[in-house]
Chains A and B, each alone.
Chain A
Amino acid sequence: MPNGIAADEMHFIFSDKAVLLFDFWRVHSPTGMALSVLVVLLLAILYEGIKVGKVKLFHKTLENLPNTSSQQLILGSDQDSTGSGSTSANGTRLRWFLWYLGQSLVHVIQVVIGYFVMLAVMSYNTWIFLGVVLGSAVGYYLAYPLLNMT
C-alpha cells in the first residue's frame, strides 16, 4: 500500500508539507502550500456551484418534459401542430433525455468533487482545511442567490 501513515495521531497541524489525494500532488514549500490551498478553495467553490447548477439543470429538464400537460398548456388549442406533433414529441423526448443524462453526469461530478474535498480535509492540514471552509463560504455566497433567479 503506497504512502501509508500511522493512524494514531489525529489533530490539525500547521505545516507546509502535505500529500494530497494523488501521488504527484506533493507540497514541500510555502509557495506550494499556497497554491494547493488555492486549488482546494476553487474546488470547494466549484462544489457549491455545481449544487446550484444541478437545480438549474433540473428546471431545464422540466421545460423539456416529453408531451405532458405543460406542453399542452403551451400549445393551447393549436390545431395546426397535430400533424407535426409526433415528430416534435420524439424530438423533445430525446432532448429531455439528453438534459436528464447531463444532470446525472453533473451528479457524478458533484459526488466525486465532494469526496475529493473530504479527503483533502482528511489530510488534517489546517491551511487546507481553512481553504475548504473559505471556498465553501465564497461558493455558497456566490451561487445560492442564483437559485432564486428563475
Chain B
Amino acid sequence: MGMNHMGMNHMGMNHMDHMDNNSTMPPHHHPTTTASHSHGGGDSMMMMPMTFYFGFKNVELLFSGLVINTPGEMAGAFVAVFLLAMFYEGLKIAREGLLRKSQVSIRYNSMPVPGPNGTILMETHKTVGQQMLSFPHLLQTVLHIIQVVISYFLMLIFMTYNGYLCIAVAAGAGTGYFLFSWKKAVVVDITEHCH
C-alpha cells in the first residue's frame, strides 16, 4: 500500500520531519544575560511576532522585496500561498505515483531449498528497485529537492504568525490533499492489498 512506513516519514505525511532550523529567540529576555543586548536588538534585525495576529500592514513575506501593505495585496498573497500549499500536496502524491510506476525492474531469482520431508521447495526472491543513474531516480531527486524547498517555504510562511497566511496554508493543504489524494484512494491498487 502506498502508506507504508517510508511514505509516512518521508513524503506521505508531513514535511515536519525535515525541519530543524529556527530563527527567533524567546520573548522575555532577562537582563542578567550578556550585556550586548542593551539596545534591544534594533540593529538590522527584524522584529518578529511570536503570537498569532490578524493584520495586513507591513507583513514581510519570505523575501525582502515582498511586503504586504494593503488588503488587496493580502488577498493576492492568500491566493498565492493557498496555491503553493495545494501544489505541495500534489507534488507529494505525484512523487508517490511516479515511484510506484518506476519500480518495474523486478528481478526474480529462485533457488531450491530443502523442505521438511526431504522434498525440495523453490524459494523465490523478488527484488524491486531503481538504478542510481536511471532517469526515474534522477527525476525523483529533482522533485525531492523541489519538495524540500517548498516545505521550508511553507514553514517560513507559517512562521510569520499572520493569521490570514496561516489559514491559507492549512486550507491549501487540505484542498490539495482532497483533490490529489482522491485519485490514489480510488485507483488503489487491487494488487496492493496484500502488504
Contact = CB atoms under 8 A, between A and B. Distances in A.
B13 A7 contact: no
A115 B26 contact: no
A1 B46 CA distance: 11
Interface string A95-129: 00000110111011011101101110111110000
B50 A111 contact: no
Contacts of A146: none
Tell me the interface secondary structure of chain B in the complex: loop
Counting chain B residues whose Cβ lies within 8 A of the other chain, the interface size class is: 35 or more
A25 B28 CA distance: 14
Contacts of B25: 5-11, 124
Contact of B26 (A8, A15, A62, A117): A15
A21 B159 CA distance: 10
Given A115-B166, A119-B158, A10 B174 contact: no
Contacts of A62: 185, 188, 193
A62 B47 CA distance: 48
Nearest to B59: A1
B50 A3 contact: yes
29 contacts: A1-B47, A1-B55, A3-B50, A4-B49, A5-B41, A6-B37, A6-B42, A6-B47, A7-B23, A8-B43, A8-B45, A15-B28, A65-B186, A68-B190, A70-B190, A100-B178, A103-B185, A104-B177, A107-B177, A108-B171, A110-B14, A111-B169, A114-B14, A119-B161, A122-B24, A122-B159, A123-B27, A124-B24, A124-B26
For the complex of A and B, the 8 pairs showing the least CB-CB separation, nearest first, are A6-B41, A4-B47, A108-B174, A104-B178, A17-B28, A107-B177, A9-B25, A111-B173
